[in-house]
Structure 1
Amino acid sequence: MMIQETVRKLYELKLYGMAKAFEDQLASAGAGQLSFEERFGMLVDHEATLREDRRLTRLLQAAKLKENACVEDIDFRPGRGLERAEIASLALGRWIRNGLNMIVTGPTGSGKTWLACAFGNQACRQGMSVSFQRLPLLLEDLAVSHSDGSFRKKLAQLAKVDLLIVDDFGLSALNAISRHDLLEVIESRSSGRATLITSQLPISSWHSYLGDKNSTVADAILDRLVSGTHRIELKGESMRKQRSKKSITD
């Protein structure tokens, strides 16, 4: 009865990992040969592992990453413009914790989104919050939020995540409202929050894309995004074409 009561209390206290590990120990003949300290340490380890797994699941669900990518699977074939040492350093996540930005540019199919999602996945595994946003859809959502009064709430949500991934920058035209909305998003994150941008446009073309006839907004956005930013320029043949060729030969 005492054992059943102990298990019940562990579940009531939401110590599910310890409860399950305790039940496993009771069913294991070898567990009795371990010391109290060893058995108790195993219970604590199971609880910590369960909580970490659940936290990672929550972070990944909230991130809504477009690609199931991880840094261990990055393709470093020659000609892509990727250096193992640089990626290994970036994978440590210090740039995110320090609120620095990253810009990934390259032609269609070069793997920009996949690489961004790999860094997003890595950040989640390190306990940081991530939000993946395609810029065209993000700007549509912000435009709607002006009419229903939720703009500031959405801005606050975007401002608090540790890493904001903005995908497809430069893919669709901007109007005056969307330019100012983008500036508000970038401005809200300019003090200690990291932003990762992917774009087909080379950085040298960003000012004309953002500015149109008003260079003030373009200057403000670029000043916050580009200065002190990690830059990765992907090169080479489309990864989609290469995967297609591989599937044909296989």
Structure 2
Amino acid sequence: MLSQETLRKLQEMKLSGLAKGFEDQLANPSAHHLSFEERFGLLVDQEMTFRENRRLQRLLKAAKFRESGSLEDIDYLPERGLERSAMASLAQCQWIRQGANLLMTGPTGTGKTWLGCALGNRACRLGLTVTFHRLPLLLEDLAIAHGDGSFRKRLNQLAKADLLILDDFGIAAMNAIGRSDLLEVIEQRTGNRSTLVTSQLPVDRWHDYLSGGNSTLADALLDRLVSGAHRIELKGGSMRNRRGQNTELRE
């Protein structure tokens, strides 16, 4: 009865990991031979692990990744142009903590989205907050936000994420409002938060895509996105041709 009362109190205090560890020790005779300090240390470790796993699940759910990529599964085919040393450096996520951007370009099917999500997944595992958006859909949402009065709130939400992933940059035409909204999003993050952009367009074609007759706005956007940014230029054929293997399959 005393054990059940203890378990009830632990659950009420939301110490679920510690409660599970306590139950495991009660059911495991070998644990009874451990000292009090050893058993208590194991309980604390289990509570900490439980909290870390729960936080990770919250971060992954909030990120809404399009792909379930993992850096351990990267296919380093020579023709892709991916360097292990560069990826190992990016995997440390120091660039995110420093507020630097990452621009990822390459033909369709070369794994940009998958790789971006893999880096985002890694950031979540290090306790960083990540938000994934396809840029065309995000701009549609922001256009609606202008109408219902929630635009400023949406900007503030986008500004808070440690890493914002903007997928499919350049895949759809962008009107003047979209360009202005994108500038607002990037402006809120510049110098403080990181933005990862994936695009089929080479970076040297971004100015033409963004200008739309307003080269000043395009200059402002490029300055904020490109200045000091890390770059990955994926090459080679489509990874979709390698279906059935443990590699990236998406764009």
Partner of 1:226: 226
- Alignment of structure 1 residues 36-185 onto 2, 5 Å: 36-185=36-185
Q: Secondary structure at the match of 1:231?
A: strand
Give the direction of change, closer, same or farther, for the CA distance of 1:26–1:245 in structure 2 (3 Å limit).
Answer: closer
Partner of 1:207: 207
In the alignment, the residues of structure 2 paired with residue 183 and residue 165 of structure 1 have an alpha-carbon distance, to the nearest angstrom, of 15
In the alignment, the residues of structure 2 paired with residue 7 and residue 135 of structure 1 have an alpha-carbon distance, to the nearest angstrom, of 48
In the alignment, the residues of structure 1 paired with residue 184 and residue 225 of structure 2 have an alpha-carbon distance, to the nearest angstrom, of 12
1:219-243 deviation digits (Å, cap 9, x = unpaired)? 0000000011000000001101232
Deviates more, 1:181-190 or 1:23-32: 23-32
- The letter of the residue matching 1:10 is L
**Which runs of 5 or more residues in structure 2 are unaligned?**
247-251
**Which runs of 5 or more residues in structure 1 are unaligned?**
none
Alpha carbons 2:108, 2:200 under 8 Å: kept: yes
In the alignment, the residues of structure 2 paired with residue 20 and residue 113 of structure 1 have an alpha-carbon distance, to the nearest angstrom, of 38
Partner of 2:33: 33
1:35-67 deviation digits (Å, cap 9, x = unpaired)? 111100110111011111111100000000000
In the alignment, the residues of structure 1 paired with residue 130 and residue 190 of structure 2 have an alpha-carbon distance, to the nearest angstrom, of 16
Q: Secondary structure at the match of 1:166?
A: strand
Instruction: Give the share of equivalent positions with the same residue, in percent.
Output: 66
Aligned residues: 246
Alpha carbons 2:79, 2:235 under 8 Å: kept: yes
Q: Secondary structure at the match of 1:196?
A: strand
Supply the RMSD in Å over aligned alpha carbons: 1.2
Give the direction of change, closer, same or farther, for the CA distance of 1:245–1:122 in structure 2 (3 Å limit).
Answer: closer
Partner of 1:188: 188
Give TM-score scaled by structure 2 length.
Answer: 0.96
Q: Secondary structure at the match of 1:237?
A: coil
Q: Secondary structure at the match of 2:172?
A: coil
